[in-house]
Structure 1
Amino acid sequence: MAEGLTGLEALGLDELAESTSEDLRSAEVGARVAAARHRAGMTGTELGAAVGLRKDQISKIESGKRRLDVGELPGIAAALGVTVRYLLGQSERPGLAMAARLAAGVGPEATRSARRRARQLLELDDLLGQVAGMPPARPSQAGAVVLEQARSGFTVRPRSKVTAQAQGLELAELTRRELDLGSDALGDLAALLEQHFAVDVALSPLGTDADGLCVHGEHSALILASSDFPDGHLRFTLAHELAHHLLGDPREVIEEIEHDMFAGNAEEWRANAFAAHLLMPERGIRSVLEWLGAGQGQVSERAVVALMEHFGVSMAALVYQLNTIGVIDYEAGKRLRDQNRVRTLISRHRDVAPTEAATIVRRVHRAPERLARHALAAVRAQRLGLSVVAALLERDDDEHLWESVMGDIVTDGDNGDDIVL
């Protein structure tokens, strides 16, 4: 399961038995193979090599002169980045279609682990929808307003850094206003995204070569971030990817490898400004500084550490925002960003950073709440095996997992009602 689902369910073959042999001989199937091959930029020789067939056999399949064997379908679909359902002309299941594209897509080496985990989650999403009746994610009423206004109000690509940053600020203020978040620090950011924006959020230790990725389409959205980074860095990644989703970024897969989030283009400037203002609104920062007794131009190192702790952000993110709103100048920010200095500052002012939340690396595994809830319910109802939960939670399928899954329901001694802990 660590590599994702396999077999009929993962490849969309669960209803293949209903297809007739005539379906597999049809010229329409061959035409779809040819169309998918051309879109993938592959030659007949390359496709044949990928699936163990000769170029002339591929040519005959595409022209409808050769019967396409059932056993050949999965390999051809995977090589072309489509689903078996697509090749057979059956109605697509969007999650599997996206998973297939992730499997076949050629991305940076740094995001391979993230792609693999995203593909697995999309496959599990589809399985839970088919077997456990899990409904698709839906935004809250306030979240739907933000999504609609973001995609209708920011259709023109900003042409300058100033314009991009202004749009990021405007979108962050819209989000906080519609969600009634005020100007203080945000709590569980992953849960907030899931609650309001129909985005599944997952955290996994994926290394530090890539921050994470956002996979979104017409029917689903998934944000995946690496928990091998400190919590403050991770939170900024989640907020940054949310900006791409809210603004309807046309890329189906947005991969953030090292330094990508701070690339010099309008999309990244806007997403960074959104993330900074969402996590650290100017009014909230100035309120904390006033509480700490810091005047204009008199921000102490202790105050900086307290701001990191309060908003749960990294030093780099905090300095970015303090520079943006004019609390400190560039040179002061440059001195603060030095990593050795960050550790020293936190150690020196531990009284205002007792949890070190902004810098601690927890390497957590977090599955999307929607998927976890329905998977656990399906296991308890004996509709799915525990291996699905193990894959979802990235845990071993053993007695400890069984005890934690089945042992978190107790009975109220007074009335016998089940209480899920």
Structure 2
Amino acid sequence: MVLTSAELGHRVAQARQRAGLTQIELSQAIGVHRSVLAKMENGNRRLTALELAEVADAVGERIEWFVQEVPPAIVSHRNVTDPGEPSPRIDTEVERRARDVEFVARNDSGFRDRVRRPPEHPMPENGEEADELAERARVLLGADPEGPLCDLGRTVVRAGLLPFVIDLGTDAADAASVLLETGAVAVVNGDRRVGRRRLSLAHELGHLLVADEYTVDWRIDGSSSRDSREQLMDRFARSLLLPDASLREAWRTWAGHEDDSLRAATVRTASRFRVDMSTLARRLAELGLVSGAQAAQVRMTRTTRADIVQYDLVNADELAESQLPREYEAAVLRLFTSERISEERAVDLLMGTWSTADLPELPRLNESAIWQFVS
């Protein structure tokens, strides 16, 4: 793709705004006068390759961001609540992951065969339909129809959803997802606790199943003012993680003993299904298993170290930042070992979770072999 000066300049301006820089700040960073940068951004002066590299370094983008098309779903839906303002950080992270996944999919047939989007399902119109969609999702994932969903990060890949966990901070969105030709990408905010991360990923799976092209979810399950579509996706996520029959059985078992308190039943149930207390409280209330006052007590409960020992609770972490989808890692390694990408490109695609020392050793290439690379 060949960009005009105006198109390239527009992308420079976009990148500068996303980085929160003024024209003066960026011009100083790349060593030109502000008026020169202004001409670059409005298309009256074309950037040299060196200047473009300096701009990319200053704004924290790869050069390919300036010269390759962005996935259409991201373009059409980015920052719709605040047009013209710098995109939230999660937009940037989703776009980067989408570009990397699309690159790997284009160049590795095994990845394309393994990671595919599921058939589109109709959007639920009420709570019962959201529960039914969750039941179908469990079948699609090959999961126990009623048991806890463990290792959710690996399980959702069976539906074509590739999760990437990134610490975006307390003020950023919970999660976002985007549909691609090959599967979909979800970014989950690693700042959240594990139960919240699992709920966020389950929520993004719901968006994939109903084929929402691009979604940013700022506070999942967090407000009664959320629109009905998002509330139904919340319901889907709760139902996926806390299926009706097994939740009822567990709750009645642990809450029905005279020597067992509401608190004990709460910490044991939350541990079994690996959910946060807010999610458990909402699900128990919508199934009529607790009163409003009891739901409030469940929501305020915190699991202690003594609880973990006393009740032999599950204390497993999931969706850690350092973990990438295994299918994605395997595809990158195939590209590297087949000498289709360089060592530097492999480490870049592995997003800082691998070093060059972690990669398998390859025989040295002669000079003519450089043309085999696609990166």
TM-score (norm 1): 0.63
Counterparts of 1:324-339 in structure 2 under 5 Å? 324-338=286-300
Structure 1 pair 305–203 and aligned structure 2 pair: CA distance change class (3 A): same
Match of 2:311 among 340, 343, 352: 352
- Residues 72-101 of structure 1 deviation map (CA, whole Å, 9 limit, x = unaligned): 77869x99xx96557xxxxx5748986xx7
- Corresponding residue number in structure 2 for 1:410: none
Of structures 1 and 2, the larger Rg is shown by 1
- Corresponding residue number in structure 2 for 1:275: 237
Structure 1 pair 194–329 and aligned structure 2 pair: CA distance change class (3 A): same
Any idea what SS the aligned residue of 2:165 has?
A: strand
Q: Distance in 1 between matches of 2:42 and 2:166?
A: 44
Match of 1:381 among 331, 338, 360: 338
Over the residues paired in the alignment, what is the CA RMSD in angstroms? 4.5
Any idea what SS the aligned residue of 1:120 has?
A: helix
Q: Distance in 2 between matches of 1:274 and 1:289?
A: 20
Q: Distance in 1 between matches of 2:112 and 2:299?
A: 42
- Corresponding residue number in structure 2 for 1:369: 326
- Residues 32-72 of structure 1 deviation map (CA, whole Å, 9 limit, x = unaligned): 679989999x9xxx9988785569957984xxxx6745647
Q: Distance in 2 between matches of 1:59 and 1:350?
A: 61
- Residue 368 of structure 1 and its aligned partner are, at CA, apart by 2.6
Structure 1 pair 199–377 and aligned structure 2 pair: CA distance change class (3 A): same
Q: Say whether residues 1:107 and 2:96 are aligned partners.
A: no
Moved more, 224-233 or 325-334: 224-233
Match of 2:97 among 116, 121, 128: 121
- Corresponding residue number in structure 2 for 1:320: 282
- Asked whether the equivalents of residues 262 and 269 of structure 1 are also in contact (C-alpha less than 8 Å), the reply is no
Q: How many residues get paired? A: 333
Structure 1 pair 216–312 and aligned structure 2 pair: CA distance change class (3 A): same
Structure 1 pair 214–295 and aligned structure 2 pair: CA distance change class (3 A): same
Q: Distance in 2 between matches of 1:47 and 1:292?
A: 59
- Corresponding residue number in structure 2 for 1:144: 118
Match of 2:353 among 383, 395, 410: 395
Unaligned runs of 5+ in 2: 28-33, 363-375
- Asked whether the equivalents of residues 272 and 313 of structure 2 are also in contact (C-alpha less than 8 Å), the reply is no
- Residue 232 of structure 1 and its aligned partner are, at CA, apart by 1.5
Runs of 4+ in structure 1 displaced over 6 angstroms? Answer: 33-40, 46-51, 72-76, 95-98
- Corresponding residue number in structure 1 for 2:194: 231
Unaligned runs of 5+ in 1: 1-15, 87-91, 408-421
- Corresponding residue number in structure 1 for 2:131: 169
Q: Distance in 1 between matches of 2:74 and 2:329?
A: 22
Structure 1 pair 260–149 and aligned structure 2 pair: CA distance change class (3 A): closer
Structure 1 pair 60–226 and aligned structure 2 pair: CA distance change class (3 A): closer
Any idea what SS the aligned residue of 2:238 has?
A: helix
Counterparts of 1:3-402 in structure 2 under 5 Å? 29=4, 57=39, 61=43, 68=46, 71=49, 92=69, 94=71, 106-108=86-88, 112=89, 114-129=90-105, 135-136=111-112, 144-145=118-119, 148-150=120-122, 154=124, 163=126, 165-179=127-141, 181=143, 182-196=145-159, 198-210=160-172, 212-219=174-181, 221-249=184-212, 252-256=214-218, 259-263=219-223, 264-265=225-226, 266-289=228-251, 291-292=253-254, 294=256, 300-338=262-300, 341-344=301-304, 347-348=306-307, 350-357=309-316, 363-391=320-348, 392-395=350-353, 397=355, 399=357, 401-402=358-359
Q: Distance in 1 between matches of 2:10 and 2:187?
A: 31
- Residue 335 of structure 1 and its aligned partner are, at CA, apart by 1.7
Structure 1 pair 211–37 and aligned structure 2 pair: CA distance change class (3 A): closer
- Residues 353-395 of structure 1 deviation map (CA, whole Å, 9 limit, x = unaligned): 43334xx688542213332111122233343344444442533
Q: Distance in 2 between matches of 1:171 and 1:370?
A: 25
- Asked whether the equivalents of residues 8 and 67 of structure 2 are also in contact (C-alpha less than 8 Å), the reply is no
- Of all paired residues, the percent bearing the same amino acid is 18
Structure 1 pair 106–203 and aligned structure 2 pair: CA distance change class (3 A): same
Any idea what SS the aligned residue of 1:394 has?
A: coil
- Asked whether the equivalents of residues 309 and 355 of structure 1 are also in contact (C-alpha less than 8 Å), the reply is yes
Q: Distance in 2 between matches of 1:131 and 1:170?
A: 37
Structure 1 pair 59–380 and aligned structure 2 pair: CA distance change class (3 A): closer
- Asked whether the equivalents of residues 386 and 397 of structure 1 are also in contact (C-alpha less than 8 Å), the reply is no
Q: Distance in 2 between matches of 1:354 and 1:232?
A: 14
Q: Distance in 2 between matches of 1:128 and 1:304?
A: 43
- Asked whether the equivalents of residues 305 and 353 of structure 1 are also in contact (C-alpha less than 8 Å), the reply is no
Q: Distance in 2 between matches of 1:353 and 1:227?
A: 26
- Residue 149 of structure 1 and its aligned partner are, at CA, apart by 2.4
- Asked whether the equivalents of residues 228 and 363 of structure 1 are also in contact (C-alpha less than 8 Å), the reply is no
Which residue identity is paired with 2:315? E
Q: Distance in 1 between matches of 2:92 and 2:38?
A: 33
- Residue 117 of structure 1 and its aligned partner are, at CA, apart by 3.7
Which residue identity is paired with 1:319? A
